[in-house]
Amino acid sequence: RSRSGSGRGSARHVAVIMDGNGRWAKSRGLPRLAGHRRGAEVVRRIVEAAPDSGVSYLTLYAFSTENWKRSSEEVQGLMELFSIYIRREGKELKRRGARVRFIGDRTRLNRDLAEQMGRLEASTESNDRLNLTIAINYGGRDEILGAVRRLAAEIAAGRLAPEALDADAFSAALDTRDLPDPDLVIRTSGEMRTSNFLPWQSAYAEYAFVPETWPDFTPELFARACAAFGARNRRFGAAD
């Protein structure tokens, strides 16, 4: 299976760095959590709209391994929001034919939340209209190190030959093993950095940095970013 598309075409896998909830709230004199709450509503709208742009894999960055540095109030609030989101949207996602997956290290999450995540994954396993992946306590370096540790143990135990470790075998050791590489990564709120999101998987992704904050992001802006992607010429290192 080819992990990337080629040339021009529609973005099959779009990954989104949902940034700017705090700034959205601050500019309105609201607490940061109000921005996160509004952000969760935007998630619902973008999930609904994504298939209209030909997207079959949508991956959302909800909480990074670095986001624990925030106040315990904000971290707690975000964790509660994830739980509320799963409770409220779980049925609807199932009904819409979404297959939900979570990537990131679950061992540091509250057990109830981790269980909710596992149940939603199990109950949507047979769906295939949209593959929705939510990154919670996800960090690209953390993911890569985890894979390296497991692979190194396999090699040390004599179960894996070092020569057998190629790009496909490495990809298969990551949390994203069941996903194609992202074609397009969108980041809202104007920051031009990737903040540890899918570094291995996005090696040949196209990027779209949009100025709107995540709570102000709309299905129209999403569709526009996807359409602009379709006009780009991806060469993957080839001459044309």
Q: Which residue out of 52, 67, 178, 183 is catalytically annotated? A: 67
**Which residue from 14, 17, 18, 19 is in contact with Mg ion, where contact means CB under 5 A?**
19
Helices (H) and strands (E) in the chain, counts: 7, 6
What span, in angstroms and rounded, lies between the C-alpha atoms of 196 and 128? 28
Q: Is 193 in the site for ligand IPE (CB under 6 A)?
A: yes
Backbone Cα Rg of the chain: 18
Residue number, 23 or 37, with CB nearest to ligand IPE = 23
Q: Which run of H or E residues covers position 209? A: strand 206-209
Q: Which residue out of 19, 175, 181, 183 is catalytically annotated? A: 19
Q: Is 19 in the site for ligand IPE (CB under 6 A)?
A: yes
Q: Is 32 in the site for Mg ion (CB under 5 A)?
A: no
Q: Is 181 in the site for ligand IPE (CB under 6 A)?
A: no
Residue 135 carries which DSSP code? E
Smallest CA-to-CA distance from 113 within 53, 63, 49, 152 is with 63
Catalytic annotation present for 142: no
Q: Is 67 in the site for ligand IPE (CB under 6 A)?
A: yes
Q: Is 175 in the site for Mg ion (CB under 5 A)?
A: no
| Contact by Cβ (8 Å): 89, 97 | no
Catalytic annotation present for 52: no
- From residue 48, give the alpha-carbon distance in Å to each of 58, 138, 149: 11, 23, 38
Catalytic annotation, residues = 19, 67
What are the residues binding Mg ion (CB under 5 A)?
A: 19
Give the binding site for ligand IPE (CB under 6 A).
Answer: 17-23, 61-64, 67, 78, 189, 191, 193, 195, 214
